[in-house]
Every structure is written in C-alpha cells, then in structure tokens.
Amino acid sequence: MPAYSDKVMDHFMKPRNVGEIEDADGVGEVGNPVCGDMMTFYIKVDKDEKVSDVKFKTFGCGAAIAVSSITSELAVGKTLEQIRQITPNSVIDELEGLPQNKHHCSNLGAQALNKAVDDYLVKQGRMTKEEFATKHKEDEEEHDDACES
C-alpha cells in the first residue's frame, strides 16, 4: 500500500465540499473507466467572476477523493484566471505529496475544475463548443496515457 501524507489521509477521511450544485454555472466531468477514477466538479461564479462555491462528486481511490477535496478548497474565492493556475503539481504540493503511481489523480482534479470553468465560459458565449471539445479532447488523451502507465 502506498504511503500517504497526513494531509492526504485527512482529505480522504473527511473530504470537503462533497456534493453537487443543482444550478451550477459550470460543470466539469472527467474520468477513465480503465483506472476507475471519475470526477465531477460544480462551480458557482459571482458577479466579480470569482468562484463563490465548489462541490464535487468523485468515484475513485483515496488519492482521487483527497485530490478532489483539496482542489475544491483551492478554488473557492479565486478568479477564473487564478483557477487556471491550479495545476497537478500545485495540488500534489498542497497534499504534501502523492505516490508516483497516483499522480494521474492530480491531473484529473485540475482538469475537472478547468473543464467546469470552460463550461461556464461556453454558457456565457465566451468560448465555442468546438473550442471546448478540442481543448478537452487533449486532456482525455493525456489521462488515458497516465492510467495505462
């Protein structure tokens, strides 16, 4: 069994922001049935374009749940531009490390959150559905490769 930090264990055992937002401004879903990790992020965006609420639902291992929890905490109160700065490495750093074979979980958290932001931008008419599809097709291909390694 991989060694997890106390922070990973805390976010796995007591995940923050679990659930969904029924009238979410943006929803991002990512996952891969090959490794079993599935994450959905829901965001509310206020008039200043700051994320006022984040919820998630995750089906996956303890690392995937911890990643979702910490990612949701990192997002609350951030502008859409600041959300773009939440990277897999920043998630790993916030969790005080993840075993190498669980790093793909950090990719999922950042991708799901960014997909929710992009869904919001599509709904606002600031991104086309084609741009959304192209951008997130690349994310899915990267995750497929990570799960197979």
Tell me which residues are annotated as active site: 35, 105
Residue 53 φ then ψ, to 5°: -155, 145
- Looking at residue 79, what DSSP letter applies? B
For residue 100, what are the CA distances in angstroms to 17, 38, 141, 146? 26, 19, 19, 11
- The Cα 105–Cα 143 span in angstroms is 9
